[in-house]
Chain A
Amino acid sequence: MDLIIGTLEQGLIYAILALGVYITYKILDFPDLTADGSFPLGAAITATMISNGGNPVLAMGVSLLAGAAAGLVTGLIHVKCRVRDLLSGIITMTALYSINLHIAGMSNVPLFGMTTLFKNGFVDGVFGGGLAPYKTLIIVLAVAMIGKLLMDLFLKTKAGYLLRAVGDNDAVVTSLARDKGTVKIMGLAIANGLIALSGSVMCQQQRFFEIQMGTGAIVIGLASVIIGINLFRRLTFIKATTAVVLGSILYKGCVAAAISFGMSANDMKLVTAVLFLVILIAGNWMDRKGEPA
């Protein structure tokens, strides 16, 4: 039972990351590696603000804005300097390593015993007694749901429509007299804002910041997006954003299952790769079965 709660917590925190990756990878069709740098950016800012007695929710807000700024930089490099999408993300990610180290001051910042989103006067008062073990889960669920609902609302607006257009067929955007470069930049900013927010929540949940906690963030995000989108492709009543959240939970579930089976953590990446492949093949196979003969 504890393992299920733990997995759900991790899955929901990374779901916010996955929503950001969904925007860049699926909607914008832009493989954005900035994630490996913006995830710890959110965490670094949060760690510094909380160590100095700052308000956790304010820290989350600042992290979101900082992540958006990082996405903005990647977008500017790509659009204005005409650098390839993959490389722009790599440039920003590499720069962010040093920036994060400066922001946090040290490569490892513990937050034990400090006021965080999960451990403060308000929360302790509301979640007394029986609900206490589920406290983190409920808070994380609330944050993930708010993020997801805001994204759903945004995608229904004109700006959201432009975002989807730029990924599918950017001629549509130009025909609407809008600059597709600006739309891409906006998309990258929103996505990395979400990713940094996810990093902020992660840092508060695990109660320490580690400079390398972003390594592989993009892989986790992609895995969640691909699992979610492919697995729930035919269940049209499930929105794409919901599918991505579920994909994140499932991915973490698979990792937890592999570990509780006693599988060596050495094989974890192999398991991830095999899982990816199986899901993608299954998705393709299901598609072909649906096609007319």
Chain B
Amino acid sequence: MKKVFAILCTVLTIALMLTGCGGQKAENHYTIGIGQFGPHGSLDNCREGFLLGLAEEGIVEGENLTVKYQNANFDGSTTNTIAQAFVSDKVDLICAIATPMAQAAYNAAEGSDIPVVFTAITDVELAGLTEGNITGTSDMLPVEDQLKLIRAMMPDAKRIGILYTTSESNSISTIATYKELAPDYGFEIVDTGVATQADVPLAVDNLVTKVDCISNLTDNTVVGALPVILDAAGEKNIPVFGSEIEQVKLGCVAAEGLDYIDLGKQTGRMAAKVLKGEAKASEIPYEVLKESQLTINSDVMAELNLTLPEDMMSRATDVAQ
């Protein structure tokens, strides 16, 4: 009885795995796998934008496109399993959102001819993903534009505080860019690293005593704890500059950042080219979103008594309206 039970379990598991394999292909019907590293506003926007970009090129979900979507919930070993599942399902293309997912997809897809299109990777070279059957878009922040914005809003400020997570390599390379460019605008960067979200309250309480303003990166953990940062900074009347429109909606004073939906659309258009066979992923170099988008929150600006020169106001989107 017990032997049977054990053997039954083993057979059942193998059978379950086999049923997962295999798939059909109809003429000009595409099946893609979208792997997202974790649930997070910007990454969700990337995914939405990606599907919109594909639709612009005539590849629409439900009509000629089947989408298999998996979210790894910020777990590294799950990214590997998701990538392997996509490869064994023989999808036509893998869209990988965020660095660990892209690396797992690149690793799993090597040896097959499934192209990988990534998005939301800040430093593509650091991630080692420039060669091979892989391409995509980078969300490298327009650091220089952000510094100009901060200088325009706060003519006397000297120190910019940046909070980041030690496990995010993207944050580390963006901070390096900040430190390189900041002296040109008369700023000094004070950075504090945290290991987990739980460390944020203490770190930010400490940071606000040392700086004139805070600037955000695309750091997943820190952005997840944004309300805490806004509270602590608000008490000391320290403005917080965001990196994306969702952050400004939450209470950041302004952001010279990326529209992740646009980034996703650009990625979707690249993916459509690869799916239709117009180009190979290995031939397309990765792209960076060139236009940054200026967003402001006029309510917060009024509270903090900050103003912006007219030429910048005219191209800004105000989330408070």
Contacts and interface: CB of A to CB of B under 8 A. Distances in A.
Contacts of A246: 10
Interface in B77-113: 77-78, 80-82, 84-85, 87-89, 99-100, 103-104, 106-108, 111
Contact of A265 (B2, B3, B76, B78): B78
A120 interface: no
Interface in A210-262: 210-213, 215-216, 220, 231-235, 246, 250, 252-257, 259-262
A232 B132 CA distance: 44
A153 B126 CA distance: 44
Contacts of A259: 20, 70, 81-82, 85
A234 B3 contact: yes
A4 B87 CA distance: 12
Interface stretch (A82-90, A104-112, A165-173): A104-112
A262 B70 CA distance: 8
Contact of A3 (B68, B88, B104): B88
Contact of A110 (B6, B73, B129): B129
Contacts of B75: 215-216, 265, 268
Bin chain B's interface residue count. Answer: 35 or more
B76 A256 contact: no
A91 interface: no
Contacts of B5: 231, 282, 286
A276 interface: no
Given A2-B21, A265-B78, A286-B5, A107 B166 contact: yes
B254 to A, nearest CB: 29
Interface stretch (B11-19, B136-144, B224-232, B274-282): B11-19
Interface stretch (B167-175, B184-192, B288-296): B167-175
A113 B131 contact: yes
B20 A10 contact: no
Tell me the interface secondary structure of chain B in the complex.
Answer: helix
A63 interface: no
Nearest to B12: A257
A110 B128 contact: yes
Given A208-B103, A256-B81, A259-B81, A2 B88 contact: yes
Contact of A10 (B10, B39, B80): B80
A260 B14 CA distance: 12
A175 interface: no
Nearest to B6: A231
B17 A4 contact: yes
Given A108-B99, A235-B3, A250-B10, A7 B17 contact: yes
A36 to B, nearest CB: 12
A81 interface: no
A148 interface: no
B111 A133 contact: yes
A176 interface: no
A113 B166 CA distance: 26
Given A4-B14, A260-B17, A97 B195 contact: yes
Contact of A256 (B3, B85, B132, B166): B85
A101 B166 contact: yes
B39 to A, nearest CB: 8
A230 to B, nearest CB: 9
B82 A234 contact: no
A52 interface: no
A233 B74 CA distance: 35
Contacts of B26: none
Given A3-B84, A286-B5, A110 B166 contact: no
Interface in B1-46: 1-3, 5-6, 9-10, 13-14, 16-21, 39
Nearest to A135: B111
Contacts of A260: 16-17, 19-21, 85, 88-89
A107 B70 contact: no
Contacts of A257: 13, 16-17, 20
Nearest to A9: B84
A213 B78 CA distance: 10
B71 interface: yes
A282 B80 CA distance: 30
Interface of A: 1-4, 6-7, 10, 97, 101, 106-108, 110-113, 132-133, 206-208, 210-213, 215-216, 220, 231-235, 246, 250, 252-257, 259-262, 264-266, 268, 282, 286, 289-290
Given A112-B132, A233-B2, A261-B20, 9 more contacts: A6-B108, A108-B99, A110-B127, A207-B107, A231-B9, A235-B6, A260-B85, A260-B89, A266-B73
Interface of B: 1-3, 5-6, 9-10, 13-14, 16-21, 39, 68, 70-78, 80-82, 84-85, 87-89, 99-100, 103-104, 106-108, 111, 126-129, 131-132, 166-169, 172, 195
8 contacts: A3-B20, A6-B108, A10-B81, A107-B169, A212-B76, A250-B10, A252-B81, A265-B82
